[in-house]
């Protein structure tokens, strides 16, 4: 009995480890390997993470120069794998809590501003569906599944339900909605996985930006690529690169010279602990930035999973 179940349990373990912690990275500029991997239907994920950024603000590019901010962030997320029309799918949601401190030059006033604040950032909600190559499977069916080519799509929505003060230039929230549709392609190649993703993020207008001003943001376009190496017992590592452009802002009808054309590179390592728990470590840094809003990022996340007979 145990010999019969062991390969099936191992297959499920590798699958859920491969999908580890996609939810905590739900930002327009985030790097997310294995976002479209297949996992058995009915698996729940609880994710607790810690991320540390230094430099510019990842979550809200602002009209500032020479930014020096430190932003430790705790992240809590939940995800569940679904069956949508016979296709594997996943819903996830995440909420960050940050401690922000630092200073930058205010380009609107010409003065240096300092900020020290803690509170919740904007929560994110996402639905992903694998359209090809990843059918909805039970854990028993999944034991014989082998990835070839997967094509998936997702829609992420970020809500302005965070701490925000319209009299301050630097905030934890953005006071606007965002909508990010994405297309992802994942190809398995003899122990390796090559992934390509393209997305665009649309923003609503912030009607209370810095003392009642109106700030609109053009769509932000991005493309990212990952080369993933799979090892025994569900361990995997990846090299990651992302390019994003656009996001030019208009403040009270005046177009700003803040078009983003930025490159980032990073690496990710996922380590299963047991059938139900895994850890992911990730880091990334800016390679080049037209608007000088580079930031360094390091993060670690723990994931607990249950359901579907695990």
Domains parsed from the chain with CATH numbers: 2-306 (2.40.128.130)
pTM of the complete model: 0.91
Using one digit for the tens of pLDDT, what is the confidence trace for 253-289?
Answer: 999 999 999 999 999 999 999 989 999 999 999 998 8
> Where does the pLDDT of residue 64 fall: very low under 50, low under 70, confident under 90, or very high at 90 and above?
confident
- Burial class from Cβ neighbours inside 10 Å (0-12, 13-18, 19+) for residue 254 reads exposed
- Residue 253, Cβ neighbours under 10 Å: how many? 7
Amino acid 15: pLDDT: 57
CA distances in angstroms from 43 to 108, 123, 137, 220, 307, listed in the order given: 49, 22, 11, 32, 5
**Beta-ladder partners of 211:** none
Confidence of residue 58 (pLDDT cuts 50, 70, 90): confident
Task: Please state, in angstroms and as integers, the Cα–Cα distance from residue 243 to each residue in 226, 264, 289, 305, following that order.
Answer: 12, 7, 10, 32
pLDDT at residue 22 tops 50: no
The radius of gyration computed from the CA coordinates of the chain, to the nearest angstrom, equals: 20
pLDDT band at 292 (very low <50, low <70, confident <90, very high): confident
Rounded Cα gap, residues 24 and 74, in angstroms: 9
Cα–Cα distance list, 294 to 29, 167, 234, 261 (Å): 11, 25, 33, 11
């Amino acid at each position: 009995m145990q010999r019969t179940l062991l390969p099936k349990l191992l297959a499920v373990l590798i699958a859920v480890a491969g999908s580890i912690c996609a939810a905590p990275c739900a930002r327009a500029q985030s790097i997310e390997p294995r976002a479209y991997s297949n996992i058995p239907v009915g698996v729940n994920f609880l994710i607790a993470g810690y991320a540390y950024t230094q430099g510019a603000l990842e979550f809200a590019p602002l009209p500032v120069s020479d930014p020096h901010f430190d932003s430790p962030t705790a992240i809590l997320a939940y995800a569940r794998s679904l069956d949508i029309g016979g296709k594997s799918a996943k819903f996830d949601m995440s909420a960050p809590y940050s401690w922000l401190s630092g200073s930058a030059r205010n380009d609107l006033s010409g003065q240096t501003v300092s900020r020290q604040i803690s509170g919740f950032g904007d929560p994110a909600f996402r639905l992903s569906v694998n359209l090809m190559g990843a059918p909805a499977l039970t854990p028993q069916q999944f034991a014989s599944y082998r990835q070839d080519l997967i094509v998936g799509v997702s829609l992420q929505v970020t809500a302005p339900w965070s701490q925000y003060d319209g009299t301050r230039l630097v905030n934890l929230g953005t006071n606007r909605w965002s909508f990010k549709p994405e297309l992802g392609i994942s190809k398995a190649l003899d122990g390796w996985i090559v992934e390509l993703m393209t997305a665009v993020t649309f923003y609503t207008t912030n009607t209370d930006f810095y003392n009642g001003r109106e700030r609109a943001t053009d769509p932000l376009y991005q493309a990212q690529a990952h080369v993933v190496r799979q090892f025994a017992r569900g361990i995997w590592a990846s090299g990651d690169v992302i390019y994003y452009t656009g996001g030019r802002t208009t403040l009270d009808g005046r177009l700003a010279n803040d078009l983003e054309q930025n490159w980032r590179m990073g690496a990710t390592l996922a380590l299963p602990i047991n059938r139900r728990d895994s850890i992911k470590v990730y880091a990334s840094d800016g390679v080049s930035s037209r608007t000088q809003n580079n930031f360094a990022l390091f993060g670690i996340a723990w994931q607990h999973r249950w359901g579907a007979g695990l």
